[in-house]
Structure 1
């Protein structure tokens, strides 16, 4: 159905009642508490008691929203990374140069970790083994790399392997910076190295990462 002039997707979303809004706030508070706990101590540090105390919610209420501790962890990881993936998709929409799409996404991933260390540690401590991270970012990395191959910009014999290397390297670079911070912002150097990995010549890779970085659109948040 076509939208009427002047309407937005937000205008067309169903209006929630007070009870629904309160329930969504409680669920989001639990997810936020889980993200913060994992950022500090990794997934193994998450307990129902720790999360409900951090969220200031009764333990009995927890089970109205999640079946178990593991259910909460899985949902928190997928929710966090998927939201970022959607923002990266929106940022790159309409860009034609695969090298820009790839490098802009890499630069935003790194700068998000630098500007928000809690989020950065969340990503590092969740790690590459977590399915939520792989499900949300893995296919996007493979898609962008395949687009580069199809348009002749990238030389990548194995797209799946290159996507896995991309995710592993971003987590490694985040950890190196967050642990040591012995150098300045490594974002552009990191993106330049990855462009060279996929076949962009060194001089051109250096020029691409100097291009102005488009802003990352805000997340389309639920009621918080």
Structure 2
């Protein structure tokens, strides 16, 4: 799977255009805003977007999803249905965080643990990783050893758990029982900030380093 990261919104959220090199079919992961910037990158890459993928329901990750889906005539896939309340409250989210007014929407399909999403001839495994939000999911490309983890894990940090229905222990459990078993060599694209690897985080991350759980 090929990818291009596009920071969007004042929160500098890592939206990604991902595509199958053989077919040039593509998906957009977490289009939080700046739709014109995303469309310009899609045109530059010469790929054909066939779906939008969402990791969770926070506005900096989904704020542009409905508009982009309408412009491209593509479905919105994800997150897990436990984040439905976040998508239903997008108007309030946009007010609270100073974003342009964003209307509630319903994705074409919610995702569950063990589902698989195709992008051209490439496939992404779906992991349900609650904690930051109850319906947060992670997309994992087994062939490329690459994961899109949203706001579950960051380089040197983890997702916030001070939101409604967030849970710190659930987040730690998701990271240690869902992500770590994928392997040390997995690289990941977080929702914000630079990429890292699970090996680096297991050694250095002050929240989830292995030595904390010995």
Return the TM-score normalized by structure 1: 0.27
| TM score, norm. by length of structure 2 | 0.28
Which structure would you say has the larger Rg? 1
Considering Cα pairs closer than 8 Å and 6+ residues apart, tell me whether 1 or 2 has the greater RCO.
1
More strand by share: 2
